[in-house]
């Protein structure tokens, strides 16, 4: 069940990130602090402004928090971004549940035959080379050319936001999920 815990009253600029398979729109919005402390905080969400302005922001839809308010006309940066654990948990659950059914992952597992198949962040600059640890979202065990059910292992070193920007899921199917 989603709890709508935040009520926005100002929608800031929209941050847009282009993925390998389409667009994912991220929005920065200013809300009252969810921890009960007086004041405001800027949050990064996948929700479009028309949704959060009508219904509020569910904790699971907050990708992360900015440690300082974002000045109008500027962008968030990796140094001031803090991921939201509830979103990270949801992201890994979506990948664990849906990635084994994605045709391109099944094809990759057949080619690999055995070992571990990594789910790479599509923003990585070196997908065919040495991928930085912070651009590996997680991995599945592969045995006999098939993804082993319930073998997903989340990479705790994955960064939702790095110097290359916000994360990008590697497939349209995962984005939709």
Between 57 and 16, the higher pLDDT residue: 57
Q: Give the mean model confidence (pLDDT) for residues 120-126.
A: 93
Same domain, yes or no, for 110 and 81? no
Q: 92 lies in a domain?
A: no
Q: What is the mean pLDDT of residues 134-142?
A: 97
Predicted pLDDT of residue 1: 26
pLDDT single digits (tens) 56-68: 778 899 999 999 9
Give residue-wise pLDDT tens across range 31-76.
888 777 888 989 998 888 788 778 877 889 999 999 999 888 888 8
DSSP secondary structure string for all residues of 41-109: EEEEESS-HHHHHHH-EEGGGEEEEESSPPPTT----GGGEEE-HHHHHHHHHHHHHHGGG-HHHHHHH
Q: What phi, psi does 109 have (nearest 5°)?
A: -65, -40
Is residue 69 a contact partner of residue 30, using CB atoms and an 8 Å limit? yes
> How is residue 133 annotated by DSSP?
G
When pLDDT is cut at 50, 70 and 90, the band that residue 17 belongs to is very low
In a domain, 91, yes or no: no
Is residue 66 a part of any domain in this protein? yes
- Does residue 81 share a domain with residue 15? yes
With bands split at pLDDT 50, 70 and 90, how would you rate the model's confidence at 162?
very high
39 and 67 Cβ atoms separated by less than 8 Å? no
In angstroms, what CA-CA distances link 133 with 45, 75, 104, 124, 126?
A: 24, 25, 22, 10, 11
pLDDT of residue 24: 67
* 167 and 130 inside one domain: yes
Token code pair at residue 161:
């936001």
Q: Alpha-carbon torsion 33, 41, 89, 45, what sign?
A: positive
pLDDT value of residue 9? 33
**Residue at 140 is within a domain:** yes
Single out the residue of 56, 151, 51 nearest to residue 100, CA to CA: 151
Q: What total number of domains does the chain contain?
A: 2
Instruction: Give the end of a domain, one of 62, 86, 110.
Output: 86
Whether the pLDDT of residue 23 is over 60: the answer is no
Task: Show the domain range for 43.
Answer: 4-86
Residues 69, 119, single domain; the answer is no
Query: What's the mean per-residue pLDDT of the chain?
Result: 84
Question: H or E segment at 176?
Answer: helix 172-176
């Amino acid at each position: 069940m989603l709890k709508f815990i935040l009520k926005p009253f100002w929608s800031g600029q929209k941050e847009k990130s282009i993925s390998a398979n389409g667009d994912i729109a991220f929005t920065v919005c200013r809300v009252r602090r969810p921890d009960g402390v007086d004041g405001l905080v800027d949050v990064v969400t996948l929700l479009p402004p028309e949704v959060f302005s009508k219904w509020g922001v569910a904790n699971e839809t907050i990708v992360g928090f900015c440690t300082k308010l974002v000045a109008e006309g500027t962008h968030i940066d990796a140094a001031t971004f803090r991921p939201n654990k509830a979103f990270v948990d949801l992201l890994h659950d979506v990948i664990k549940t849906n990635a084994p059914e994605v045709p391109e992952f099944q094809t990759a597992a057949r080619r690999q035959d055995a070992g571990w198949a990594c789910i790479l962040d599509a923003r990585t600059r070196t997908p065919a080379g040495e991928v930085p640890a912070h651009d590996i979202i997680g991995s599945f065990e592969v045995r006999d050319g098939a993804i082993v059910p319930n073998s997903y292992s989340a990479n705790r070193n994955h960064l939702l936001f790095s110097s290359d920007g916000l994360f990008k899921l590697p497939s349209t199917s995962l984005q939709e999920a």
